[in-house]
Amino acid sequence: MALITKDNIKKIDKERNSVHGKVRATYTVFTSGGEKYFQIDTYGSTTREMKNKISQSIQFDKVMAQELIKFMKDTFDII
């Protein structure tokens, strides 16, 4: 599980990139310590031995969610 906040994310340029295979994902919203969080869980591929086991969980707080929206708008020219 990983909490990504504004102070621990950095853009890098990579020489090699590839599109990953599609996997099932879910999201949840919860409150902890008076703060709201948005969490995305991804699950393994259909060939995975334990198909319904969460592979990764990524959490965002409100400030990081606002940054992520900005990153997406800039990247995809969304108004």
**pLDDT exceeds 90 at position 56:** yes
Question: Could you tell me the residue range of the domain that residue 31 belongs to?
Answer: 24-79
**Domain assignment present for 6:** no
43 within a domain of the structure (yes/no): yes
Cβ neighbour number for residue 56 with a 10 Å cutoff: 13
- What is the average pLDDT across 30-59? 91
Please check the confidence at residue 51 and state whether its pLDDT lies above 80.
no
Residue 34 lies in a domain: yes
Model pLDDT for residues 2-44, shown as the tens digit of each residue: 999 999 999 999 999 999 989 899 999 999 999 999 999 999 8
Give bridge partners of residue 3 from the DSSP assignment: 59
Q: What is the DSSP letter of 77?
A: T
Whether residue 17 is contained in a domain is answered as no
Grade residue 45 by pLDDT with cuts at 50, 70 and 90: confident
> Structure pTM?
0.87
